[in-house]
Amino acid sequence: MGGVLSLVGPKCRTSEYNEMLNNGSCKRQKTSSIFYDEESPRLIPFLPDELSIQILARLPRYCYCNLRLVSKKWKATFESAELFKVRKELGLTEEWLYVLIKDEADKLSWHALDPLSRNWQRLPPMPNVVCAEESKSGFSGLWLWNVVGSGIKIAEVVRSWLGQNDTLDQMPFGGCSVSAVDGCLYVLGGFSRATTMRCVWRFDPISNKWSKTTSMSTGRAYCKTSILNNKLYVVGGVSQGRGGLTPLQSAEVFDPCTGTWSDVPSMPFSRAQLVPTAYLSDLLKPIATGMTSYMGRLFVPQSLYSWPFIVDVGGEIYDPETNSWTEMPTGMGEGWPARQAGTKLSVVVDGELYAFDPSTSPNSGKIKVYDQKEDTWKVAIGKVPVADYTESESPYLLTGFHGKIHVLTKDANHNIAIMQADVQDNLGSPSCSTSVSAKPLHEHPDSSETVFWKVIDSKDLGSAELVGCQVIDV
């Protein structure tokens, strides 16, 4: 069995294994060959499969890519829900970070990082297909997932719906949204040329495959997504109609257990109704600039947009218990940190709501935390060492895993860096332990504690730009 498990390492020692077969005794050769016998009735000879699965489930996930090559039966086992159910029962699930990038040719690709082993794996390309619903509707645009990118800037979209240019007629696919629910990755909507798409694609890390799932009821680009009660919510975005692009106030929810979409009441955009004149009301377009699941509800900051100007107008909260929207507290809505590419970056870690506030000065930023009692945003981390890439649509991303805040950005070598914020006490020892070895990047002194930034890993992906990221725990 040692010959088989040697595949777990970074390199398969095939030559050593063959030498063992050639030089060993006949009995040894016969025993070893069983491990590669496609007709063998058991995963591991002489052991019941139930016990074998218990053994295999304890191996780290990054090994699975090589272990699938052992035999067809092993491949089926490592792509089975049964194995991952055992991992969950044993408390051995792993949080991986999935990063969506766009290269210089506007091609989208996904890369997964295991933060503990710092092992990167590239996902299979998204399918190159024509979405059936859009084809039947007579639109000529092709949904070329694996050959085009998301390089449509929201400013160009706004200029288009204001009739200032015809950019959308020449646009490739872009403007898609991403999310993760029930252990799977989802890519939703977007543009194909001047057409907004309804299609939804799902990546299952267990089977390592993409598949098409139920389409949204409305074609959307730049919609906002969030997860609440193990359901995927989408709100807002823009849609293509006969009169051109229209900002959406509608919302819908996807249940991964049933594979169905259901309508959610539209956002009222009550603050937008306060615009003083009909001219301004027609000129300023209401858009949702983010959505975060917090305290059992969905919080959606909102803005009025007329390129190149954007005006924050607070936000609204959706409560699934009452199936209704209410206005966001004044301090929360008006103080929600500034947007990036039409999106306000926020994340919930250990029940606290954090948001990234890009600084007007280069190579810095702040992370603020919302104080619910005082209805105000307070500085949690005074300086985030991020580079200023003004040409990039998303120069930085904010996420949370392993109970800590993480920022994704480009480092001085133009590699994509994943930075972790670690709080230390006055004596310099971490307030909570971490098993990830990394180098210090920056310290921000405070009265009682220090934020210690660590690069848990970086990846050279050429001139690729960040588009989005998600965390999946399986």
Domains in the chain, ordered, with CATH?
A: 2-89 (no CATH), 94-122+350-474 (no CATH), 124-344 (2.115.10)
* Torsional class of 350: left (φ above 0), alpha (ψ -120 to 50), beta (otherwise): left
Strands (E), 333-438: 346-349, 352-358, 365-371, 376-381, 396-401, 404-410, 416-425
Please check whether residue 291 is in contact with residue 226, taking contact to mean a CB–CB distance below 8 angstroms.
Answer: yes
pTM: predicted TM-score of the whole model, two decimal places: 0.81
In 3D space, the residue among 182, 214, 181 whose CA is nearest the CA of residue 199 turns out to be 214
Q: Residue 360's beta-bridge partner residues?
A: none
pLDDT by residue for the chain (474 residues), tens only, comes to: 444 444 444 444 344 434 433 444 443 333 333 344 555 679 999 999 999 999 999 999 999 999 999 999 999 999 999 999 999 999 999 999 999 999 888 889 999 999 999 999 999 998 864 454 444 444 333 333 333 334 445 445 444 444 444 444 434 457 899 999 999 999 999 987 778 999 999 999 999 999 999 999 999 999 999 999 999 999 999 998 777 788 899 999 999 999 999 999 999 988 766 655 554 556 678 889 999 999 999 999 998 877 666 778 889 999 999 999 999 999 999 999 876 656 789 999 999 999 999 866 666 789 999 999 999 999 999 889 887 655 666 788 999 999 999 999 998 888 999 999 987 654 444 444 333 334 444 444 444 467 889 999 999 998 899 999 999 999
Q: Which SS3 state, helix, strand or coil, does residue 317 take?
A: strand
Burial group, residue 321, by CB count within 10 angstroms (0-12, 13-18, 19+)? exposed
